[in-house]
């Protein structure tokens, strides 16, 4: 089937929706006892590029990019920018978790204090933004099943 330009001109691309995700089983509703859901939104490509440029500047010293620092800064910033709820910039929430710097990255680290929770949230945010998570593991599983 051949695609035509008119099809692109006529179609209206679907906008990605926000995703609800239980980032930690430790946060439970006081009324229902159910785990609380976080809301994650996808970034636009322009937002992602702006974050990359900002993080590259912060991770560069004397003209040399520290790749590990860049990756950490980028991942942390993306997780914060994608988090719709809870509001990681909320002063009351920061006070509850003892965040003195008003840094939403610090709050995220204190809320998802277990390494597995933090990494799981990063994987979910990555997935919401259209990246294939564990693509090599999935490919290996497919190869085993063939």
3-class DSSP state for residue 64?
strand
**Considering the entire predicted model, what is its pTM?**
0.82
In the prediction, which pLDDT does 34 show?
Answer: 97
In the prediction, which pLDDT does 3 show?
Answer: 81
The domains found in the chain, sorted by start residue, are 16-130 (3.30.2220.30)
Express each pLDDT in 38-52 by its tens digit.
999 999 999 999 999
Express each pLDDT in 63-87 by its tens digit.
999 999 999 999 999 999 999 999 9
Q: Which strands form 38-40's sheet, in the order they lie side by side?
A: 19-21, 38-40, 83-85
In 3D space, the residue among 43, 35, 16, 37 whose CA is nearest the CA of residue 126 turns out to be 43
5 Cα distance to chain centroid:
34
How far apart, in whole angstroms, are the C-alpha atoms of residue 111 and residue 71?
21
In 3D space, the residue among 129, 132, 134 whose CA is nearest the CA of residue 49 turns out to be 129
Question: Helices in the chain by DSSP H: which ranges?
Answer: 5-10, 45-58, 67-82, 91-96, 104-111, 115-128, 135-145
């Amino acid at each position: 089937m051949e695609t035509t330009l008119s099809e692109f001109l006529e179609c209206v691309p679907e906008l990605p929706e926000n995703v609800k995700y239980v980032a930690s089983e430790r946060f439970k509703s006081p009324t229902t006892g159910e785990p609380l859901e976080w809301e994650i939104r996808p970034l636009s490509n322009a937002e992602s590029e702006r974050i990359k440029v900002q993080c590259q500047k912060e991770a560069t010293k004397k003209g040399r990019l520290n790749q590990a620092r860049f990756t950490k800064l980028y991942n942390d910033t993306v997780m914060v920018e994608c988090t719709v709820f809870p509001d990681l910039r909320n002063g009351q929430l920061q006070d509850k978790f003892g965040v003195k710097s008003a840094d939403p990255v610090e709050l995220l680290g204190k809320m998802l204090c277990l390494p597995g929770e933090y990494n799981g949230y990063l994987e979910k945010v990555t997935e919401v933004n259209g990246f294939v998570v564990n693509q090599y593991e999935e490919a290996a599983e497919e190869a085993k099943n063939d």
